[in-house]
Chains A and B, each alone.
Chain A
Amino acid sequence: MVGVTGVAEQLLNGLTIGMVYVLIAAGLSVIFGVMDVINFAHGELFALGAYFAFAIVAPLGGAGFWVALVVAPLLVGVLGAVIERVTLRPLYDRNPLYHILLTFGLVLMLNDVITFFWGKQPKAFSEPSILSGPVTVLGVSNSLYSYFIIAFGAVLSFGTWWALNNTRFGLVVRAGSQDREMVRNLGINIDRYYTLVFGAGAALAAVAGIVLGAYQNVNPGMGNSVIIPAFVIVVLGGLGSFRGAVVGGLGVGIIQTLARTYVPVLEGLIVFALMIGVLLVKPEGLFGTSTGEGHGESEGELLAGRGGGVLTDRQRFGLGAVVVALLAVVPLGVEVLYSEYVLTLLTDVLIWALFALSLDFVMGYAGLVSLGHALFYGTGAYASVLVLLHFTSSAFVALAAAVVVCAAIAWVIGYLSIRVSGVYFSMITLAFAQLFYRAVFKLEWTGGSDGLFGADVLYGIGGFAMELDEIAEMVPMVSEEGLFYYFLLATVVGSYLVARQIMKAPFGSVLQSIRESERRTEFVGYDVTAYKRRAFVVSGAMAGLAGGLFAVESGFVAPSLLFWLNSGEVVVMTVLGGMGTLYGPMVGAGVYIGFEEVLASYTDQWQFFLGALFVLFVIALPRGLVSLPDKLVEAGAGGGRAGTSGGPGEAPSEEAEPLADGEVNE
């Protein structure tokens, strides 16, 4: 009997968490279904609900909980509506990628607002006293509050379900999540519904935050930790499906809780594995209706950077050479003009530049938006350190291992995931990355949460290897760090040149034609999937090299290398610079890290400003920094090129200009 009640107790706990998930996932799913917006900020709205509740309960005491349960969701709902109006509205005709970017900026901003007002320490507020204390039902005892969460969540879910099924508003929302363009074709201005959908979704997430806040605690990381499971649920259940969100939410809550108790090895892994499995068998999710394809409903294209225009190829080449030359003299000024720190910073920039370049290879050229590229970066780093620790101290061998391992993994993941397209591809890559992230915590030989460190690094192979400081002694004027910096610079420039060569080759032309029109490329007779897979392998290998370089330089690795925020950041850098141009993302990496550095030196709230900058940027300059010269010239010419009246997406405006073959690279 003990076993049975034990299981029942765990089931109840799972159901409690599951109900919280349902409330989060329902909004997320409906928002995606209707608006095509992947809202990474949903987790922060959830956290904000909890913090508002904390702020209300703190002065009012126990009964404040009921006030908070009404007021906080309303506040968050209004905030959601404002966010939709101000930031998302200008982006509806664009590819979902831009929503991801935008909401990623919002994550940074909201999270910073939270730490600004409430600090980094966890806070707690308690449930009202009438809900505290345990109760025993059918021999199973659990806290009354737990039952309250389940009941309240069920009522709210049922209410939402009822509204979706019995109101005009709900009808349009459901129709819109099945075929938005058709709703328009029937004369309904669906944009008008978005504000309310977004606001309502935000309010539901806030409710989830409040009930969970009183159940556990309130902390700045709560949004970050809940958003990925929420995505998993949405994808599992089927994007846009309310029923899917409910079944998925409860299922994930229960499975997670049971796994924690009975198969701790699988905790954290099982859900991602489940999602990958479901997506491979049924890409549209358990209750999804379509994978958003067919129908020629255009997704809005990815806006590649425009490298051409103002600067000629030759000028740009010259500019590139100057930049590399400048980078090359930097170590000579260390300790004379500036401190060693400059070198550390630039080392960071170069590694991320390579990482961004690798992402651009698939995102900017083949149109594959990978949200899991940290997987390759982190795995490359782990592979290198493992080789250094267990096999040889040669940096070259370690880097080669990183490249080979990541290429192999990229092949497997590419094989499994490139058959699904668009958002589903993004999600499945995200899931794979989180799977690896979780796995390194669990595994013995990856050092768990501590990671691995203490690797010796030699440069050379076999008998001809030396430590870097020994070499440095033989070279005048350059320190050990300086030497590594040169090694890094050479590797990154070399990788860039290789990538450029590939893009100039027929292989590269096919990739670009895929990005412009997959249908046409297929029609002409290319095996689009095979090309994408190959690009993915190259990209994974390059990201692995970046991770390997990090490991060789720092001598340690930690699970955080694989965390999804890294994947997000590298996407940001790539778009910031201008995807679809090889140099753009590298510029983006430099600017991103530079901004971060400068902002951080002025204010503790740098994250907020970085996020805000980013939001502005995505709205105003989606083609990235590399298109800035063009924009300036355009503006200078009197802004005569105002876009065509923005029809849904396919309007062949000025923006849609393709990259002619000649101006593709560099």
Chain B
Amino acid sequence: MSESSRLDAEACQNPLLDVSNIVAGYGATEVLHGVSLCVEAGEVVSLVGRNGAGKTTTLRSIVGNVVPTSGSVAFDGQDVTGLSPEETVRRNVAFVPEERRIFPDLTVAENLKVGQLGGGDTAESRDPEEVLEEFENLRDHPDRRGGALSGGEQQMLAIGRALVAGADLLLLDEPTEGLAPFVVRQVEDLVKNLNEEGIAVLLVEQNVEVALELADRHYVLDRGEIVYHGTSDQLRENEDVVDRHLGVSI
């Protein structure tokens, strides 16, 4: 724990997101035992780990779906620990949860509209039409039901929906899960484009390939603890880390 916080001190000079030593869980079960990580403005950072490692719980703690029992989360220098998700999100954090969670009975346009309503008055929200333009699969069918979209389309829509309200940081939970390889490429391209626009990304992935492709730095989470932190090059060289904590080889 102390080691990882030392790493963070080195990792981020001026963190946009600063997660420090959070402990969180569900009811009696503690899932995160002191997780620290940070993201700089404009950076893409990955959080990788096996099934059940606590990746989703980490994101949920950042957003406020889960309230950490100790530790803190700061965004843009302000403490947001324990704020409700709506309050956190209104500070220009966009959250795309696991399984996308498109409103199945709302149309594509309506899904985006809900995202826009969430922006409030302060955020520099974007026009849903404009966002729609960026996604060619969706553009032509604004009236399709969300539930009728393919997995890739849903993922695009989920990202678009989270971004219409404007965002400095995008939290993405396994965006490529269950997608065909060529759709994975599309999602990767989208994330790259967004990053080029200046949006920082914290990417949760099980697919290490995707993480290496997109992110500059990586945190490896295992059983609720950050067990490794390094750049893409470092991670590639550390085959045993990948092997031991992720159960894959690269």
Residues of A within 8 A of B (CB): 168, 171-172, 174-175, 178-179, 181-190, 289-290, 294-296, 298, 301, 516-517, 520, 644-645, 647-648, 650-653, 656-658
Contacts and interface: CB of A to CB of B under 8 A. Distances in A.
A648 B29 contact: no
A652 B67 contact: yes
B98 to A, nearest CB: 8
Most chain B Cβ neighbours within 10 Å, of A181, A183, A186, A296: A186
Contacts of A517: 26-27, 29
28 contacts: A168-B117, A171-B114, A172-B117, A174-B105, A175-B110, A175-B114, A182-B97, A183-B118, A184-B65, A184-B85, A184-B86, A186-B118, A186-B162, A187-B165, A188-B86, A189-B86, A289-B147, A295-B101, A301-B27, A517-B27, A644-B67, A647-B64, A647-B84, A650-B26, A650-B27, A652-B26, A652-B28, A656-B27
A175 B146 CA distance: 11
Most chain A Cβ neighbours within 10 Å, of B26, B117, B120: B26
Nearest to B123: A187
A38 B153 CA distance: 35
Given A174-B105, A185-B63, A187-B89, 20 more contacts: A172-B114, A172-B117, A184-B85, A184-B89, A185-B85, A185-B95, A186-B89, A187-B85, A187-B90, A187-B165, A188-B117, A294-B99, A298-B26, A517-B26, A644-B69, A645-B67, A647-B66, A652-B24, A653-B67, A657-B28
Contacts of B97: 182, 185
A415 to B, nearest CB: 29
B83 to A, nearest CB: 8
A290 B104 CA distance: 10
Nearest to B104: A289
Contact of B86 (A187, A644, A651, A656): A187
Q: Which 4 A-B pairs have the closest CB atoms?
A: A187-B118, A647-B67, A186-B118, A187-B89
Interface in B24-65: 24-30, 56, 63-65
A647 B81 CA distance: 10
B113 A171 contact: yes
Contacts of B98: 296
B119 A187 contact: yes
A284 B114 CA distance: 24
B228 interface: no
A284 to B, nearest CB: 11
Contacts of B118: 183, 186-188
B197 to A, nearest CB: 20
Nearest to B99: A295
A595 B171 CA distance: 53
Given A178-B105, A179-B101, A295-B99, A184 B84 contact: yes
Contacts of A294: 99
B106 interface: yes
A517 B28 CA distance: 9
B217 interface: no
Interface in B146-170: 147, 161-162, 165
Interface in B74-88: 82, 84-86
B84 A178 contact: no
Interface in B108-132: 110, 113-115, 117-120, 123
Contact of B104 (A178, A185, A186, A301): A178
Contact of A174 (B85, B106, B162): B106
Nearest to A183: B114
A84 B98 CA distance: 32
Nearest to A646: B67
Contacts of A182: 97, 101, 103
A623 to B, nearest CB: 14
A554 to B, nearest CB: 44
B89 A185 contact: yes
A658 B105 CA distance: 38
